[in-house]
Chains A and B, each alone.
Chain A
Amino acid sequence: MMPFTYERAQSPAAAAAAVARNPNAKFIAGGTNLLDLMKIEIETPRHLVDVNRLALDKIETTPEGGLRIGALVRNTDLAADPRVMRDYAVLTRALVAGASGQLRNKATTAGNLLQRTRCPYFYDPAQPCNKRQPGSGCAAIGGVTRSLGIIGTSDACLATHPSDMAVAMRLLDATVETVKPDGSTRRIAIAEFHRLPGDTPEIETTLETGELITAVTLPPPLGGQHFYRKVRDRASYAFALVSVAAVVQKDGSGRVALGGVAPKPWRIEAAEAEMPKGASAVMALLLAEAKPTPENAFKRPLSERTLATILTQARS
């Protein structure tokens, strides 16, 4: 690990300014992903701005009847919040499908959105990776792609976004609240928050330099039955091959978002109109643009079957 200086931020705006004025600075919250990457020098910040003591750890109801989740709310606390378990069960289900109990106790809401891909080539400094080292190439193309993306990927990058929580957030139409280094604030729809790789896979979100997430808000509850079904190589503590988040209403309408298949939580609202017709019709639209490799082509039928299971469960 490279040596780094350390400071404890006194306010969200001060934290944002501290990171903006030092090109080698990074925020640290839970640290469960950043420190892992710092140990293998994939992340090499020379200054850390610790945001853990900022008072961003509350979950409050909003005037509209939704929830405002502080950026520092730990994954465990978000999953176990009685309002989330009752009204946004898909979020609880997604959170507890991810990582381990120890990691969820530390990992934060904002950090979860910002975690880096688990593409094995990103993690291997001996391999070219456009995300890790822009312009170096993509070793995944023509390499081992079983766990990688089938849609939204590019000629520069096949990586998937690893988060389970973000898939539920996308399904629920969450909004990311931020503060910029000049103290101004903005709200970013979750659909606009993560970027597709294009030819700049190193730029993963629409956040500006130093911009700090302060909260994630949820609109009023959707009702319906909530599902998060994750398919992985072992029954616990593994990243998704495919995950399906869904809310199904009594009349068969609903919402669907996919994890494990794309560089961001994958949801196309138009595809959801097909829900009463079944999983096959939904996936025909949702994955119409898919460009799988022979090795990960299984993700398409797996997504469809996983949604079919959910729809069967919803009817029973």
Chain B
Amino acid sequence: MSLPADHSISRRDLMAGSMATVVAGATPLATATAATGSAPPTAGTPAAGTEPITVEVTFEVNGQSHDLVLDTRTTLLDALREHLHLTGTKKGCDHGQCGACTVMLDGRRINSCLSLAVMHDGAQVTTIEGLGQPGHLHPMQAAFIAHDGYQCGYCTSGQICSAVAVLAEIKAGIPSHVTTDLQAPMQPTNMEMRERMSGNICRCGAYSNIAEAMAELAERAA
């Protein structure tokens, strides 16, 4: 397991460490490596037990390739947060209802909580960390700051990933529930932004400012 680059102990690391102490001594992982080459990858053997079954997974996150050995149950979200320590992507409801876990998978936004990491062997994932960093923000990150598109910030990385994808979806001609004419070019209207962002919940209610941030970028791109 790799540590964050600066090795400093954050509140999160301290809590994770305490948890590990509590569960130490639990059943060791039953490792069964996936077959390689042309054979179909099969993790483990059909078993009725309750022991975890692990599998090797390789995917690219923010341009960097990662080889992981994961419990088959590991969601893409947990792989990002718990194994790669990319904690910008948040776990909200963990059931695909809130959008806090939104990332780009092979260029499309998805709920990373409702997808197994093992299903994405060979995939390319972009998280909020890969969109931009302090000092070289993605224009959507800068627009969220300029328009005050958040309050507590917990949903923000999901909102920004979704917002970037929404503008791309409108450009690609993907229709939405509020698109009136399916044969006309899609327009980045306020109603379109609101409808298309409905899978990202914000308890603080920053919606109108998020829509303004998106509108600014849509206008700039037009």
Task: Enumerate chain A interface residues (CB-CB to B < 8 A).
Answer: 1-10, 22, 24-25, 28, 31-32, 35-36, 39, 46-48, 50, 52, 76, 79-80, 85-86, 89, 92-93, 96-97, 99-103, 105-106, 235-237
The secondary-structure label for the interface of chain A is: mixed
CB nearest neighbor in A for B161: A102
Task: With A5-B45, A106-B114 as known contacts, state yes or no: A237 contacts B198, CB within 8 Å.
Answer: yes
Docked-complex contact A32 and B44, CB < 8 angstroms: no
Q: Interface size class for chain B?
A: 35 or more
1/0 per position for B68-110, CB-CB distance to A under 8 A? 0001110100000000000000000011100100100000111
Given the complex of chains A and B, what is the CA–CA distance between A36 and B75 in angstroms? Answer: 11
Task: With A7-B43, A89-B182 as known contacts, state yes or no: A101 contacts B162, CB within 8 Å.
Answer: yes
| Nearest CB on A from B49, distance (A) | 7
Q: Does B172 contact A (CB under 8 A)?
A: yes
Task: Enumerate chain B interface residues (CB-CB to A < 8 A).
Answer: 32, 40-53, 55, 71-73, 75, 94-96, 99, 102, 108-111, 114-116, 118-119, 162, 165-166, 169, 172-177, 179, 182-183, 194-200
Given the complex of chains A and B, what is the CA–CA distance between A2 and B46 in angstroms? Answer: 13
CB nearest neighbor in B for A21: B46
- Sample of 13 A–B contacts (CB below 8 Å): A4-B72, A5-B44, A7-B40, A7-B41, A9-B40, A35-B114, A48-B116, A96-B175, A100-B199, A101-B169, A101-B199, A102-B99, A236-B194
Q: Enumerate chain B residues within 8 angstroms of A25, measured Cβ to Cβ.
A: 46
Q: Enumerate chain A residues within 8 angstroms of B71, measured Cβ to Cβ.
A: 3
Docked-complex contact B111 and A102, CB < 8 angstroms: yes
Docked-complex contact A5 and B177, CB < 8 angstroms: no
Docked-complex contact A101 and B47, CB < 8 angstroms: no
B102 is contacted by which of A36, A93, A102 (Cβ under 8 Å)?
A102
CB nearest neighbor in B for A99: B199
Docked-complex contact A52 and B199, CB < 8 angstroms: no
A103 is contacted by which of B72, B73, B96 (Cβ under 8 Å)?
B96
